[in-house]
């Protein structure tokens, strides 16, 4: 069974978020952060054991790794991204704690429009999942349709973010003007670059889909891109309350 055909991928997605939030809690001195890290270890361990059993049942071991090389590489990449964003969020929070003054985010940032933008990104995660489900059923038209919807939603997210940037800059919140502006633009800027990278990857997939490149048996790159896109969405679900609400 494909990794996206069972319960483990969403659990791992949640565990990636809990890992980053756990590190943030530990940075604040709360031992409750260990629970988030423990959840991540359990999810990864359960997924790995499940993959090992699947491979044994199919007698298809081709290496000592429990999962395919490209998929294993993707999970390693995502784990490195967890470390990157955890460090970014943790350092930004540390700056905030030690700053002499810090504005109330809701008085500076546009929370309602960002809440809508968060909903847009969550919807894009759903359409990406539907794109993968379509190709697994051999529905190439469905794959193309949902890829285009995901790209459109991703571009909408970036467009709204650029609108928010322009408003903040017009109000004098340039990155170099204050620590608040610096941490805001660095965190959301890096996330925006990841969204852009995902859109470029999906444009590549769409080009391949136009040539009927993907089939029920050959859709690995769609799956890998889906994993990345879900990760990007989870990161934003963490960033939204940390930056805009707390």
Q: What is the per-residue pLDDT for 49?
A: 67
Q: What is the per-residue pLDDT for 18?
A: 66
Query: What are the residues whose beta carbons fall under 8 Å from the beta carbon of 127, sequence distance 6 or more?
Result: 146, 149, 150, 153
Q: What is the per-residue pLDDT for 118?
A: 92
Instruction: Retrieve residue 241's tokens.
Output: 């309350």
pLDDT in tens, 166-186: 999 998 888 888 888 889 999
Q: What is the per-residue pLDDT for 28?
A: 56
Domain boundaries, the chain: 1-101, 103-246
Q: What is the largest CA-CA distance in the chain?
A: 63
Instruction: Retrieve residue 1's tokens.
Output: 């069974």
Query: For each successive 10 residues of the chain (246 residues), what is the average pLDDT?
Result: 52 64 57 65 68 56 53 80 84 82 87 92 92 90 94 97 93 85 92 95 92 84 91 90 86
What is d(CA 243, CA 84) in angstroms, rounded to the nearest whole number?
A: 17
Q: What is the per-residue pLDDT for 22?
A: 61
Q: What is the per-residue pLDDT for 72?
A: 75
What is d(CA 178, CA 208) in angstroms, rounded to the nearest whole number?
A: 45
3-state secondary structure of 68: coil
pLDDT in tens, 15-36: 666 666 665 555 555 556 567 6
- What burial letters (b/e) apply to 67-101, b meaning 16+ CB within 10 Å? bbeebeebbeebeebbeebbebbbebbeebeeeee
Pick the CATH number of 103-246 from 1.20.120.80, 3.20.20.450, 3.50.50.60, 3.40.50.11540: 1.20.120.80
Q: What is the per-residue pLDDT for 77?
A: 84
Instruction: Give the number of other CB atoms < 10 A from CB of residue 130.
Output: 17
What is d(CA 223, CA 133) in angstroms, rounded to the nearest whole number?
A: 10
What is d(CA 242, CA 63) in angstroms, rounded to the nearest whole number?
A: 42
């Amino acid at each position: 069974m494909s990794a996206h055909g069972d319960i483990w991928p969403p659990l791992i997605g949640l565990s990636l978020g809990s890992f980053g939030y756990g590190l943030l809690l530990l940075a604040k001195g709360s031992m409750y952060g260990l629970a988030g890290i423990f959840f991540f270890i359990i999810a990864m361990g359960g997924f790995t054991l499940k993959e090992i059993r699947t491979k044994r049942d199919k007698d298809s071991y081709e290496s000592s790794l429990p999962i395919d090389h490209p998929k294993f590489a993707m999970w390693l990449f995502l784990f490195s991204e967890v470390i990157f964003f955890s460090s970014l969020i943790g350092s930004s929070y540390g700056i905030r704690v030690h700053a002499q003054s810090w504005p109330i985010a809701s008085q500076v940032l546009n929370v309602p429009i960002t809440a809508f933008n968060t909903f847009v990104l969550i919807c894009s995660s759903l359409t990406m999942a539907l794109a993968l489900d379509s190709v697994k059923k051999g529905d190439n038209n469905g794959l193309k349709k949902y890829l285009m919807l995901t790209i459109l939603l991703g571009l909408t997210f970036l467009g709204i973010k650029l609108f928010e940037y322009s408003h903040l800059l017009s109000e004098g919140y340039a990155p170099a003007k204050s620590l608040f502006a610096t941490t805001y633009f660095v965190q959301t800027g890096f996330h925006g670059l990841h969204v852009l990278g995902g859109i470029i990857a999906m444009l590549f997939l769409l080009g391949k889909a136009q040539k009927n490149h993907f089939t029920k048996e050959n859709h690995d790159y769609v799956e890998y891109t889906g994993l990345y896109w879900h990760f990007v969405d989870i990161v934003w679900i963490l960033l939204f309350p940390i930056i805009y609400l707390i």
